[in-house]
């Protein structure tokens, strides 16, 4: 779809906790309908997954060859 909004990218590959969670929550506050947040992080953030499920977000996880995880987050209704 050509009118799709670009993702909000949160590059947390070199950040220490709790900064990845804080930056992701800030990005979610900016999320528009149909848009997603792309979180790039070197581990699977289990506490974030619980928070997302409990607050109406859906996500998918893609493991990259370099060991980084790409977490795609969107409103569950989208």
Confidence of residue 4 (pLDDT cuts 50, 70, 90): confident
Edge-to-edge strand order for the sheet containing 69-75? Answer: 8-11, 37-41, 69-75, 57-63
The SS3 of residue 50 is helix
What tens digit of pLDDT does each residue of 28-60 get?
999 999 999 999 999 999 999 999 999 999 999
Q: What is the dihedral sign for C-alpha 35, 29, 45, 47?
A: negative
- Alpha helix segments (H runs only) across 1-78: 19-30, 46-54
């Amino acid at each position: 779809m050509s009118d799709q909004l670009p993702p909000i990218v949160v590059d947390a590959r070199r950040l220490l906790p709790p900064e990845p969670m804080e930056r992701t929550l800030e990005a979610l506050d900016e999320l528009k309908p149909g848009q997603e947040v792309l979180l790039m992080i070197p581990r699977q953030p289990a506490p974030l997954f619980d928070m997302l499920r409990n607050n109406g977000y859906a996500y998918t996880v893609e493991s990259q060859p370099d060991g980084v995880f790409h977490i795609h987050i969107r409103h569950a209704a989208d």
